[in-house]
């Protein structure tokens, strides 16, 4: 008799649970009524040393402590493995767990350090967590599909291999939505991940398990992917820093994905970090590893200190940002308005200018994204679901989408080319309005129209999707948390679209969102990763100085 997909999933989860040693098992896990688990007393389970290490000020400090020999890679790895396993019991954020291999790796790093008196590379001893699509040799790769149980990766994805070559330790993978194609980490195999700030809320997605793990400091730095907002949404929903690099800046070769071969809107890999320094550390280490020698699509783009010093942006002395208060199609929830006002005030206090962004044909852009993602009429997801009989989930892939011909798909890709040309021209034309002689240096925008919502609610994703479509490099940074007394629902406006009404209605009870992190994006042009990181540092400092 064939085993049902439910039974297979149960067995997998049982095997996963066995990987948590008794010493780390929570005897009295917080009950459902405990919404915030960021404040969970990890020291009730972890040693003082584990707490010291995992609460380190930032990644730079951790790396320097390992590089100086003050901390060993072994004890650092042990600390993050331990904390990750505790975090998992709070929010269900992990998929594959490979502590043993990680400890062997850490021991190798320590042996190298002892023998040579130097580090393997700039990431020496840093545990980095991976979204459950980044292949690791010898580990099962399901991407949350029951039907892919038993798939064992033969090779490391190039990104994993590069992280290892730079000295990192890899130890866990993190939860994803089915097919990676919607903004909430839930699938038929591993179930759903909760937002640690408020477990009634979603962690976002698709790199949602990653966001939840990093928020709980089960990892300081994780690798997510983003085809419509999948790094930025969960980073923002968990108060983290994240970066969506442009296509193929970070090597994607050797990973597993949905809609393989869909190249009109490439998915990209990028960092999600609890501290801001993670963005530069990750991107510089990755570029310095010359990924174009292993990934034929990776761009031959070394890290540019000149771009980081904002050579193309007047040296960063007086920047002009454009605030996207509203994309003209779907109005963001009230806390975003407060976050934008706060950020504008902070930037102006720091001597920068903030003008209004004039949205550019949002509905046209939305339609192209929707057409690209649904061009196969669901054949990709249906084929994988059919392997196990598990049902389809999510709200980005349309169950009623009609499959296109290749010729029709080309027409969609062509429509994209024309749209993003117009969008870039629209941006460049702002030069006459900024007072700097340059077009706006970056666009600031909500990370989504909606604050981190309850589980199983749809989202509107064009605030992030615009970056995927236009291939703009874009970060997210945290600004504030929802206060239902301040961030009250506004009177209904004249709705511009169905998603406009949908998003408005989702905020009918602000109390639901209490304590939810709110983040904004800093959006640069294609391949302005270095400049975007530096501008994010400038914005973050301005916010902290406010």
Nearer to a second copy, 120 or 372 (CB): 372
**Residue 228: which residues within 8 A CB-CB, separation 6 or more?**
181, 183, 265, 369, 373, 396, 461, 464, 465, 468
If one asks whether residue 406 binds a second copy (CB under 8 A), the answer comes out as yes
Q: Is 230 annotated as a binding residue?
A: yes
CA distance 158 to 164: 10
**Identified binder of a second copy from the candidate list 6, 417, 456, 509, rule CB under 8 A:** 417
- Residues in region 419-438 near a second copy by CB under 8 A: 420-421, 423-425, 428
Q: Is 235 annotated as a binding residue?
A: no
Residue reference for tokens 């400090």: 61
**Shortest CB 141 distance to a second copy, Å:** 16
Nearer to a second copy, 346 or 535 (CB): 535
**Identified binder of a second copy from the candidate list 29, 69, 191, 296, rule CB under 8 A:** 296
- Strand ranges in 54-151 using DSSP code E only, listed in sequence order: 94-97, 127-131
Contact (Cβ atoms closer than 8 angstroms) between residue 459 and residue 453: yes
Nearer to a second copy, 12 or 438 (CB): 438
Range 326-359 burial, b when 16+ CB lie within 10 A, else e: bbbbbbbbbbbbbbbebbbebbeebebbbeebeb
If one asks whether residue 532 binds a second copy (CB under 8 A), the answer comes out as no
Q: Is 163 annotated as a binding residue?
A: no
* Binding-site size, a second copy (CB under 8 A): 49
Listed residue (243, 201, 238) closest to 223, CA to CA:
243
Q: What x/- string results for residues 362 through 391 when contact with a second copy is judged by CB under 8 A?
A: -------------xxx-xx-----------
- Residues in region 234-293 near a second copy by CB under 8 A: 253-254, 259-264, 292-293
According to DSSP, residue 155 is labeled S
Straight-line distance from the first to the last Cα atom of the chain, in angstroms, rounded to the nearest whole number: 65
Q: Is 130 annotated as a binding residue?
A: no
Is there a cis peptide before residue 206, judged by omega within 30 degrees of 0?
Answer: yes
**Identified binder of a second copy from the candidate list 405, 432, 508, 545, rule CB under 8 A:** 405
Instruction: For residue 23, give Cα distances in angstroms to 28, 44, 47, 104, 188.
Output: 13, 11, 11, 20, 29
**C-alpha angle with apex 320: 221 to 281, nearest 5 degrees?**
20
Listed residue (229, 300, 210) closest to 267, CA to CA:
229
Q: Which listed range, 21-29, 277-285, 418-426, 455-463, lies at the site for a second copy (CB under 8 A)?
A: 418-426
Nearer to a second copy, 304 or 497 (CB): 304
Q: Which listed range, 120-128, 232-240, 459-467, 520-528, lies at the site for a second copy (CB under 8 A)?
A: 520-528
**Shortest CB 259 distance to a second copy, Å:** 7
So which residues are the catalytic ones?
131, 206, 230
Binding residues for substrate: 180, 206, 227-230
Binding interface with a second copy (CB under 8 A): 253-254, 259-264, 292-297, 299-301, 375-377, 379-380, 403-417, 420-421, 423-425, 428, 470-471, 525-528
């Amino acid at each position: 008799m064939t085993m049902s997909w439910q039974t297979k999933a149960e067995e997998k989860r049982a095997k996963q649970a066995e990987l948590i040693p008794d010493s780390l098992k929570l005897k009295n896990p917080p009950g459902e009524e405990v919404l915030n688990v960021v404040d969970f007393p990890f020291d009730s389970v972890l040693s003082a040393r584990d707490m010291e290490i995992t609460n380190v000020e930032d990644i730079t400090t951790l790396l320097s402590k390992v590089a100086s020999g003050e901390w060993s890679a072994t004890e650092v790895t042990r600390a993050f493995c331990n904390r990750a396993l505790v975090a998992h019991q709070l929010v269900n954020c992990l998929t594959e767990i490979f502590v043993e291999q990680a400890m062997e790796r850490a021991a190798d790093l320590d042996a190298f350090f002892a023998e040579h008196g130097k580090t393997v590379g700039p990431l020496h001893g840093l545990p980095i967590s991976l979204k459950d699509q980044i292949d690791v040799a010898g580990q099962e790769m399901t991407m949350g599909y029951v039907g892919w149980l038993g798939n064992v990766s033969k090779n490391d994805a190039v990104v994993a291999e590069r992280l290892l070559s730079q000295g990192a330790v890899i130890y866990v993978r993190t939860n994803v939505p089915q097919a990676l194609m919607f903004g909430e980490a839930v699938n038929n195999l591993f179930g759903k991940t909760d937002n640690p700030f408020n477990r009634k809320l979603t962690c976002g997605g698709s790199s949602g398990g990653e966001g939840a793990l990093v928020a709980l400091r089960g990892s300081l730095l994780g690798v997510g992917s983003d085809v419509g907002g999948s790094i930025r949404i969960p980073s923002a929903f968990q108060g983290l820093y994240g970066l969506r690099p442009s296509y193929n800046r970070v090597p994607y070769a050797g990973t597993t994905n949905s809609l393989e071969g869909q190249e009109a809107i490439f998915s990209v890999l990028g960092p999600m970090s609890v501290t801001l320094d993670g963005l530069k550390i990750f991107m510089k280490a990755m570029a310095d590893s010359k990924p174009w020698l292993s990934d034929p699509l990776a761009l031959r783009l070394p890290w540019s200190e000149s771009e980081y010093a904002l050579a193309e942006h007047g040296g960063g002395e007086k920047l002009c940002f454009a605030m996207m208060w509203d994309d003209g199609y779907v109005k963001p929830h009230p806390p975003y308005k407060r976050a934008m006002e706060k950020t504008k005030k902070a930037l102006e206090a720091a001597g920068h200018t903030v003008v209004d962004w004039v949205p550019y044909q949002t509905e046209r852009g939305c339609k192209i994204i929707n057409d690209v993602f649904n061009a196969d009429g669901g054949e990709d997801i249906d084929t994988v679901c059919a392997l196990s009989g598990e049902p389809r989930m999510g709200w980005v892939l349309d169950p009623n989408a009609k499959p296109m011909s290749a010729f029709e798909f080309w027409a969609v890709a062509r429509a994209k080319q024309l749209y993003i040309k117009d969008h870039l021209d629209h941006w460049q034309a702002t030069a006459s309005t900024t007072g700097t002689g340059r077009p706006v240096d970056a666009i600031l925008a909500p990370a989504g129209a909606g604050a981190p919502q309850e589980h199983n609610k749809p989202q509107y994703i064009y605030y992030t999707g615009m970056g995927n479509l236009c291939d703009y490099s874009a970060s997210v940074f945290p600004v504030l948390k929802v206060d239902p007394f301040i961030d009250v629902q506004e009177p209904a406006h004249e709705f511009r679209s169905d998603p406009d009404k949908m998003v408005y209605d989702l905020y009918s009870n602000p109390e639901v969102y209490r304590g939810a992190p709110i983040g904004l994006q800093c959006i640069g042009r294609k391949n302005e990763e270095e400049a975007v990181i530096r501008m994010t540092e400038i914005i973050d400092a301005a916010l902290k100085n406010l």
